[in-house]
Amino acid sequence: MKAKMDGILDRDEARYTITNIQRFATHDGPGIRTVVFFKGCRLHCPWCANPETWKPEPELFHDDSLCTGCGRCQKACPAKAIAISAGKAVISRELCTGCGSCVTACLNKAMEITGQVMTVREILAEVDKDRDYYQVSRGGVTLSGGEVFQQDPVPLLQALKARGYHTAVETEGAYGLEKLQQALPWIDLVYHDVKHCDGKKLKQFTGGDLEEIEEHLRYLKTTDVPVVIRVPVIPGFNQGDLEDIRFYVRHLGFEQMQLLPFHPMGKGKWHKLDRRYPYEQTPMMDKEILADFADEGTRIGGQ
């Protein structure tokens, strides 16, 4: 009994770097859900809506529109990572350690640390707030990112299943197969990205390795865990190749597919990280233009 209790205590102290815990989500699995966003991803998709999840460690957001150039952050920074130029703070991303001193110093809330280390116990405290909603809506908890398998999701998944919650995981397949195999007993539903079926294009745009992704998909096919394939539809990348992608997905044996129309809603976060957003001039895609692709197994948009 004591050994079991010790195991649970150890599990509940496992630590994760999380960028956000979003309550009342309805597009990332059945029912009402809480989505936990993991930090860290090997891919760098130029359309990414969550660029703050790329690096595994906490990072600094700087909102230029709130900055008056007062210089308080510069004085507070122990790493001398801040200069004032043209009336605005300019951050050296190489020197910044993410210590957060500038966040405290800034009276205008122009600085913010994105990414927080949380234990399983702390994550559960947030997730448990909506346990009644999960029950009435047949919802649960979805782990997303970033790439969930860049960290070890097993302790958190075990804790969620111990509470009887439905668990879903969103992944892009850029991780080791072993991690998926270890976690699968505690996963009820997998959303797996297939961004392209052309390995060269996938590598060029995202850094992803199609062979590795395919290995995970083939493994998933040997299990009884339900899988929904997700395809972000991106102008100039895969919008013209959707029939080929659907053929590829079905050839691998998957029927359920969601086409997710491009949206530029992550743009502000690219700016706050001082990164150039490649789709600055690209408008949100009207999902109606994908209507012809809808069929029994293909939905337009998430669920």
Which residues of the chain form contacts with ligand SF4 (CB under 6 A)? Answer: 60, 67-73, 76-77, 79, 81-82, 89, 91, 96-102, 105-106, 108, 110-111
With CA atoms as reference, report the closest residue to 36 among 153, 183, 135, 131: 153
The CB density around residue 75, as the number of other CB atoms within 10 Å, is 11
Q: Which is nearer to ligand SF4, 100 or 235 (CB)?
A: 100
Q: Which is nearer to ligand SF4, 81 or 229 (CB)?
A: 81
Shortest distance, CB of residue 265 to ligand SF4, whole angstroms?
24
Shortest distance, CB of residue 267 to ligand SF4, whole angstroms?
20
Shortest distance, CB of residue 36 to ligand SF4, whole angstroms?
24
Q: Are 62 and 111 in contact (CB under 8 A)?
A: yes
Q: Which is nearer to ligand SF4, 66 or 284 (CB)?
A: 66
Shortest distance, CB of residue 185 to ligand SF4, whole angstroms?
39
Q: Which is nearer to ligand SF4, 81 or 257 (CB)?
A: 81
Q: Which is nearer to ligand SF4, 107 or 294 (CB)?
A: 107
With CA atoms as reference, report the closest residue to 274 among 67, 120, 79, 128: 67
Shortest distance, CB of residue 101 to ligand SF4, whole angstroms?
4
Shortest distance, CB of residue 118 to ligand SF4, whole angstroms?
19
Shortest distance, CB of residue 55 to ligand SF4, whole angstroms?
13
* Secondary structure (H, E, C), 3-72: HHHHHHHHHHCCEEEEEEEEEEECCCCCCCEEEEEECCCCCCCCCCCCHHHCCCCCEEEECHHHCCCCCH
Q: Which is nearer to ligand SF4, 105 or 154 (CB)?
A: 105
3-state SS class at 86: coil
What does each C-alpha distance from 285 to 12, 35, 112, 113, 230 come to in angstroms?
Answer: 42, 24, 30, 31, 16
3-state SS class at 147: coil
Cross-strand bridge partners of residue 259: 231, 300
Q: Which is nearer to ligand SF4, 15 or 109 (CB)?
A: 109
Distance linking the first and last C-alpha atoms of the chain? 41
CA geometry: angle at 61 spanning 56 and 63, to 5°? 165
